[in-house]
Structure 1
Amino acid sequence: MNTRQLYAPLMGFALLALGACSPTKEHVAERDLLVYVDPFIGTGGHGHTFPGATRPNAMVQFSPDTHLQGWEASSGYHESDSLIYAFSLTHLSGTGIGDLGDVALLPYSGVDSLKPVARFSKANEVASPGYYSVYLENFGIQTELTSTERVGLMRLKYELQDANRNLLLDLGHILQPNWGHKVLKNDLEIVNDSTIRGTYYTKGWADQHQMSYTIHLSTPADSMVLHRNGEGSRVAYPLALTDTTDLKLHLYLPQGTEPLLVKTGLSHVSPEQAEKNLAAELPHWDFDRIREESREIWRGVLGKIQIESQDQSVLKNFYTAMYHAHIAPFNYQDVDGHFRGMDKQVHRNARPEDGHYTVFSLWDTYRTLHPLLTIIDPDRALRYGRSLISDYQEGTILPRWPLAANYTGCMPAYHSVSVLADLVAKGLASGEDLKLWAEAGVRSSVYRADLAEKFAGTRELDLITRHPHFKETLGFIPADSLPESVSWAVEMAYDDWCIARIAEAAGLDSLAREYDKRGRYYQRYWDKRTNLMRPVMADGSFRTPFNPRYSAHMESDYTEGNAYQWSFYAPHDMQGFIKTMGGREVLEANLDTLFTTSSRIDGEKQSGDITGLIGQYAHGNEPSHHIAYLYNYTASPHKGQALLDSIMYTFYKPTPDGIIGNEDCGQMSAWYVMSALGFYPVCPGLPEYQIGRPIVDEARIAVQGGVFTIKVKNNSRANKYVASVKLDGKPLGGLTLQHSTLRAGGTLEIEMTDKI
């Protein structure tokens, strides 16, 4: 199916939305939505995004590497930099840990250096969806990047005609070498003067990572020199070798005025599969055609939600957030269905049209990104669920933060089950083997001694912690035995409730009852004296002394936060939670304290993820993301509406430092998208949303039933409070929107006021 056929329904929706608009008012649908996307948003501060060329959820993220070490190198790029070390084809978007940076290329001229470095200025840098361009000042080279799903395409214009035209393939390049990331070996084959292929093996956050590639040049090289640990020798090809040293291949190209084009196909399986991917996706050399195809694909994605706003900042933030919400997870599958599984073996997908995916930042994205997709792209949402189940079948446990066929074990609990439970709750899993899904949840919720033995001595051992063991044996996690005990406990309680919902749908009633019981284990941590979730010691007492402001990254009782931020987490049992704490009035008082108390964080090792503070609320980190909406469970929802207004207008800006914390593979952006529309999934796994404070004037969302329209009357910065809500002309009767209502299409009218 060609690109225009594939996206015709989406473009048709855009035209339908345009046809429904009043001719006297300017609408977003009359413009190219790409103009509102700025890939540089989030590249400054601690956003950790990258500006390079990619397609939605693609294997390739072709981007410059300007930052190689430290926290700000997580994506390989930072807005403050002025040097480019390479252009590599794989990158993480908005993470707090770095990896990838595979297959690094750098054009250069006029120097004979083992490792040249390019200089650039921001004024000569351009980025838009599917395209990146920069002028390398010290080499006089205009460098442009675009891509298909599995192939990167580079166009180089060497402007100094009398200078050498050179290209470096740096097979020793890596991101985050100071965090233990290293190249293990290279299989390299130089086929001829215009074709190079191989496999690049690394060890880092992904314990066993391999990336195969094939590189084709539009102009054959005059000669090549291969450097091994700095010692160079001219290449006579064909050449095939395996080497564990630092390899750098310099290609010397003939002088000329025609641009040089470089195609790089990727595969996680083999160089031969990379050749198949390249042949299928990019059999030609037409750079502008690929760039325009990418733009058309991104238009289709952005057009799933058409918004109107008088505020250009809202438009830019919203559509850039839509863009960032469609970068991860990455498709990990070749064009013919082959992929490398969590068992490190090669498999072929029985449903190749589904794709197989990696880079699920689940601790972050289960909260909003995956629920958003159930609305605007339910087929893709289900494909992600199937991919997680495939991971279970290959590795016998659901992943926590899978990266390139590796279990990283990053972050607490087992939130794959949240993604699965949300699909079940929203009727998207009716044709799936739900008993298998329940089995996967159960086997992922317990301590796995078999996997502890299997993963011994590897980075993947981080997946197997003893937190579930104590939950099973004691019903709580003793804080004097393990760190982050409170965070693990309350999040496992939610995940166990999710397993109960899957089991219930599968007809496994006794299992559902057991996991519903486990879902209430969070109550053991509630301390009525402090009105906070407090760590419990092995003898059953609360930790004393207790400082709710204290944070020590990876060492305290709370993950990337403190007691204030973690004391509002029981989204699956809000009525039980409210009863446990003593009533709605107590919840409201606790929320008031959270948002108005001092923002001081105590501790010399406090987590750098605690950013975007309003009192002790920390919007820069995900555990806080649902909290403002909890005012809907009190007598004062207007307080939450005012806070949401402040969060959206203060912590999201159309600037490089415009994301207040790590973007986290689309979660920070998905939060903005849904909150700007005016509703939010407080509890994925419940098919409902809480209405907050919309900041768009109007929105039209493509849903299964047609179009769901949101009209916001009297919207302004002053009018931040909800006066009334109507659905298809009738009062909604509260601030809860059902997913079935949304999916069916219709019109939601939200009237705003400046009165409380």
Structure 2
Amino acid sequence: MKIIKHATYLILGILCLLQTSCNGIDKKTSANNPEKIIVENVLKYVDPMVGTGGHGHTFPGPTLPHGRIQLSPDTQLLGWEASSGYSYADTTLYGFSHTHLSGTGIGDLGDVLLLPFTGEFNNEKPVGAFSHDKERAEVGYYKVTVEPWNVISELTTTLYSGRHRYQFPKSDDANVMVDLAHILQANWGHKVVESSIQIIDEYTIQGYRKTSGWAANDPIWFTCVFDKPILSHVINVDGKTMDATSASGINTTVYATFGKLETPLNVKVAVSAVDQAGAKQNLNAEADLETFDDVVKHAQNLWNDELQAITITSKDTTVLKNFYTALYHTKIAPMLYSDADGRYRGMDNEIHKNTHLKRYSAYSLWDTFRAWYPLMTIIEPDRSKDWVYDLYQQSQEGGLLPKWQLNGNYTGTMVGYPAVAILSDAVNKGLIDSIPNKLLDAALLSSKWQPEFHEKHKGTRAEMVMPEQIYYKEKMGFVPLDKTKESVSYGLEMAYYDWCIAKMADALGAKEIAETYYKKGEAYKEYFDPEIKFMRGKNSDGSWGKNFNPRFSNHLEGEFVEGNSYQWTPFLPHAVNDFATMLGGKKALGDWLDNLFTTSSEIEGDNASADITGLIGQYAHGNEPSHHVPYMYQFSDRPWRTQEVLDSIMKQFYTPTPEGIIGNEDCGQMSAWYVLNAIGLYQMTPGDNQYYIGRPMIDSAEIKLKNGSFKIEVMNNSAKNKYVEKVLLNGKKLEANKIEYNDIKAGSVLEIYMSPNK
């Protein structure tokens, strides 16, 4: 039996790392325009170390918003905690690589690793060490002393390149290892397929490697330029050291020495998934950013602008730190994948060029449709539109909408066809200005069994973009337990996705399609056992599976994905009223939810999923299927319980510490959940434009829009006053605690009055 206990409360506000004022965001008046208020010092509330401990799987190194480069230290190579390359508990430092994933549960990338070191080198690869007392992580900047060589190493990034500055001890010979053999999560199948390296001149190294892992086909080219001459070098290929200017093989590493240096060594590195010319071009694309300090200033100014998309005030410093760190994490993925000239490697492995629409990578989708995309549609409507068109273009190149796309690869990770939730949300919010019917066609294609695609990719990860669960859903109307794994989770999620397609069709006037898919969206009824009031697996003959236990989890092998029946039974965000009816009414819904949040947190099963974290009862905030559940109380006889539960979640599971994210960050989803809930809003059902009022943490918020701003004022907010008394929109009291997406517009004001009374 595996037991995952209730997470310990982490009330550590007084121990937070950043020193700030508790009165909100610092402001000053512009000298050029006295009417304009400039918000300053937002960055001091952001701590990139948050989530690097525990199972957050974030990385602390610098990147730009949705940038091509994520330059960060790699401290762990194997296992789950190596997903981002960095774990706060480590002391080993392998070097600094240029591509990383933020908060995922599977690792990849870690391309083109550099390690500065001193002294003589031999055939053994040097490995460094570090300590947190000589480490500093800020937005756009990272600094650490690499031991045992005492090399002060600083990192920053432009959109397309990584910049390094190394201060070596003046008495020792300075060396840099450029390692193409470096890999993350090699024990999970990630490997180098081929690599090559060239010494172009005394300042320049370039090369290529291809890896296969989560992304099955992942080539990358790089150009590395030093500002001091290489005095000598050796290349190691597959364990053999040679004195040559070029070499190729599987595992390739070059060791360059620069002699004794009086001043820091500066290094520029750019990459491309297209070709060597692309890497060189990307390096030259930002030549105006000449010095390391120029790049840091540029990065921090850009981030400061981006993070002022929402300005908040709060008397609680912890709220400010949680909020802006979370907002920072929402703007890392998806990452830019196309080159500066618009070229990119497509889902068909061909090179394409689009100078109008950028290509992005690391679309988590199953995680991010829930809160990240609804947040982006508010603060980034133009990018939100572009991401939809990008997903559509990927479907045209590869045949189907992607499911966890990574670097031009279908990884097939997670459940169903979640891209349709994002397409539906964009269409229903009016963000789409062209080809809406083609988007609907792409969604329909992904929802139906496509045997040709399945056979073409059989035996690869891409096969799971069109898994057999879709076949059974279409053939039998439900996914049978005795034919497939994870049947209930697939069945429930696909019912929601089919409802999303119905909403798209409805909005586009395709009434027959809408009617068909609304009916498909009711397939959740197939898994509900009215006798026990839980979702459970059903055999192909219609009989229930044996030995049902709602606490039981069997990771990758059972009926539920990364959870159990307690966590998956309420996954019908599009049909909560119907769920209440199936349970016996509003009171029965409230009773069921109360049991969920108050029952024992014991998880049973020898192979229980490690993703079940952040437990309050059997509610698991550390994994995405639970994220809408607190709002289901709004449909019960005790809507005030929404505020109670949200208050607990935001205070327990979000703290400005390395362990401050209770589960995998998952490309911004965990953080987007906090951002929305902290300002008091949450879109429970993407595809439906309603944002529910929750339990705001802030005192006020200003959301910048194209033509002005939308303001939220929270009255009488305090730890004691956690219940919503009334809500006013532009001075008019709302009958229900919810607003529409279109209500979030310039000039409007939402007033939320808090009270100690339920």
TM-score by length of 2: 0.94
- Distance in 2 (alpha carbons) for counterparts of 1:242 and 1:341: 26
- Distance in 2 (alpha carbons) for counterparts of 1:258 and 1:635: 69
Distance change in 2, residues 1:276/1:372 (3 Å)? same
Contact 2:135 2:145 in 1 (8 A): yes
- Distance in 1 (alpha carbons) for counterparts of 2:25 and 2:537: 55
Post-superposition Cα deviations, 1:54-88, rounded to whole Å, max 9, x if no partner, equal 00011100000001001100000000111110200
Distance change in 2, residues 1:42/1:16 (3 Å)? closer
Deviation at 1:703, TM superposition (A): 2.2
Contact 2:25 2:42 in 1 (8 A): no
Alignment of structure 1 residues 566-585 onto 2, 5 Å: 566-585=568-587
SS state at 1:363 partner: coil
Residue 207 (structure 2) aligns with = 198
Residue 43 (structure 2) aligns with = 34
SS state at 1:364 partner: coil
Among candidates 416, 421, 433, match of residue 418 of structure 1: 421
Deviation at 1:453, TM superposition (A): 2.1
Residue 700 (structure 2) aligns with = 698
Does the alignment pair 1:172 with 2:181? yes
- Distance in 2 (alpha carbons) for counterparts of 1:284 and 1:755: 56
Residue 255 (structure 2) aligns with = 250
TM-score by length of 1: 0.94
Among candidates 706, 712, 716, match of residue 718 of structure 2: 716
SS state at 1:190 partner: strand
Distance change in 2, residues 1:258/1:304 (3 Å)? same
Does the alignment pair 1:53 with 2:55? no
- Distance in 1 (alpha carbons) for counterparts of 2:39 and 2:273: 41
Contact 2:375 2:672 in 1 (8 A): yes
Identity of aligned residues (%): 45
Contact 1:48 1:93 in 2 (8 A): yes
Deviation at 1:728, TM superposition (A): 1.4
Residue 349 (structure 2) aligns with = 344
Counterpart residue identity of residue 616, structure 1: Q
Is the deviation greater in 539-548 or in 86-95?
Answer: 539-548
Counterpart residue identity of residue 347, structure 1: H
Among candidates 85, 92, 108, match of residue 117 of structure 2: 108
Deviation at 1:679, TM superposition (A): 1.0
Counterpart residue identity of residue 131, structure 1: Y
Contact 2:568 2:625 in 1 (8 A): yes
Q: Which runs of 5+ in 1 are unaligned?
A: 1-13, 21-27
SS state at 1:212 partner: strand
- Distance in 2 (alpha carbons) for counterparts of 1:574 and 1:744: 31
SS state at 1:585 partner: helix
Residue 137 (structure 1) aligns with = 147
Deviation at 1:457, TM superposition (A): 3.9
Among candidates 503, 506, 511, match of residue 504 of structure 1: 506
Deviation at 1:578, TM superposition (A): 2.7
Residue 322 (structure 2) aligns with = 317
- Distance in 1 (alpha carbons) for counterparts of 2:211 and 2:341: 25
In the comparison of the two structures, how many residue pairs are matched?
A: 728
Post-superposition Cα deviations, 1:533-569, rounded to whole Å, max 9, x if no partner, equal 1111111022222100000111111110000111111
Residue 6 (structure 2) aligns with = none
- Distance in 2 (alpha carbons) for counterparts of 1:640 and 1:18: 37
SS state at 2:266 partner: strand
Q: Which runs of 5+ in 2 are unaligned?
A: 1-23, 31-36
Deviation at 1:423, TM superposition (A): 0.6
Residue 359 (structure 2) aligns with = 356
SS state at 1:108 partner: strand
SS state at 1:564 partner: helix
Residue 648 (structure 1) aligns with = 650
Residue 406 (structure 1) aligns with = 409
Post-superposition Cα deviations, 1:648-696, rounded to whole Å, max 9, x if no partner, equal 0000011000110001000000000000001101000111111110010
Deviation at 1:443, TM superposition (A): 1.1
Contact 2:53 2:89 in 1 (8 A): yes
SS state at 1:188 partner: strand
- Distance in 1 (alpha carbons) for counterparts of 2:141 and 2:120: 28
SS state at 1:225 partner: strand
SS state at 1:497 partner: helix
Deviation at 1:700, TM superposition (A): 0.7
- Distance in 2 (alpha carbons) for counterparts of 1:580 and 1:642: 25
Contact 1:15 1:29 in 2 (8 A): no
- Distance in 1 (alpha carbons) for counterparts of 2:285 and 2:706: 31
Does the alignment pair 1:117 with 2:127? yes
Contact 1:487 1:558 in 2 (8 A): yes
Contact 1:145 1:152 in 2 (8 A): yes
Residue 675 (structure 1) aligns with = 677
Residue 487 (structure 2) aligns with = 485
- Distance in 1 (alpha carbons) for counterparts of 2:662 and 2:674: 12
SS state at 2:282 partner: helix
Does the alignment pair 1:385 with 2:388? yes
Distance change in 2, residues 1:19/1:425 (3 Å)? farther
Counterpart residue identity of residue 53, structure 1: P
Residue 289 (structure 1) aligns with = 294
SS state at 1:152 partner: strand
Contact 1:215 1:264 in 2 (8 A): yes
Among candidates 277, 281, 284, match of residue 279 of structure 1: 284
Does the alignment pair 1:234 with 2:239? no
Residue 474 (structure 1) aligns with = 476
Among candidates 217, 224, 228, match of residue 208 of structure 1: 217
- Distance in 1 (alpha carbons) for counterparts of 2:290 and 2:749: 47
Counterpart residue identity of residue 523, structure 2: Y
Distance change in 2, residues 1:611/1:15 (3 Å)? closer
Deviation at 1:704, TM superposition (A): 3.8
Contact 1:17 1:700 in 2 (8 A): no
Residue 308 (structure 1) aligns with = 313
Q: What's the C-alpha RMSD, in Å, of the aligned pairs?
A: 1.7
SS state at 1:495 partner: helix
Deviation at 1:281, TM superposition (A): 1.6
SS state at 1:592 partner: helix
SS state at 2:565 partner: coil
- Distance in 2 (alpha carbons) for counterparts of 1:283 and 1:104: 25
Distance change in 2, residues 1:30/1:280 (3 Å)? closer
Deviation at 1:574, TM superposition (A): 2.7
Contact 2:403 2:414 in 1 (8 A): yes
Distance change in 2, residues 1:742/1:710 (3 Å)? same
Among candidates 358, 372, 375, match of residue 375 of structure 2: 372
Is the deviation greater in 74-83 or in 252-261?
Answer: 252-261
SS state at 1:575 partner: helix
Counterpart residue identity of residue 152, structure 2: Q
Counterpart residue identity of residue 385, structure 1: V
Residue 269 (structure 1) aligns with = 274
Is the deviation greater in 549-558 or in 107-116?
Answer: 107-116
SS state at 2:519 partner: helix
Counterpart residue identity of residue 157, structure 1: Q
Deviation at 1:488, TM superposition (A): 0.5
Deviation at 1:702, TM superposition (A): 0.9
Contact 2:57 2:103 in 1 (8 A): yes
Contact 2:413 2:461 in 1 (8 A): no
SS state at 1:609 partner: coil
Residue 20 (structure 2) aligns with = none
Post-superposition Cα deviations, 1:25-63, rounded to whole Å, max 9, x if no partner, equal xxx965400000000000000000000010001110000
Contact 1:536 1:543 in 2 (8 A): yes
Among candidates 590, 603, 609, match of residue 592 of structure 2: 590
Residue 739 (structure 1) aligns with = 741
Q: Which has the higher contact order (CA 8 A, sep 6+)?
A: 2
Deviation at 1:573, TM superposition (A): 2.5
Distance change in 2, residues 1:16/1:257 (3 Å)? closer
- Distance in 2 (alpha carbons) for counterparts of 1:82 and 1:671: 31
Contact 1:526 1:581 in 2 (8 A): no
Deviation at 1:288, TM superposition (A): 0.4
Contact 1:207 1:460 in 2 (8 A): no
Deviation at 1:187, TM superposition (A): 3.1
Alignment of structure 1 residues 597-612 onto 2, 5 Å: 597-612=599-614
- Distance in 1 (alpha carbons) for counterparts of 2:756 and 2:331: 35
Residue 9 (structure 1) aligns with = none
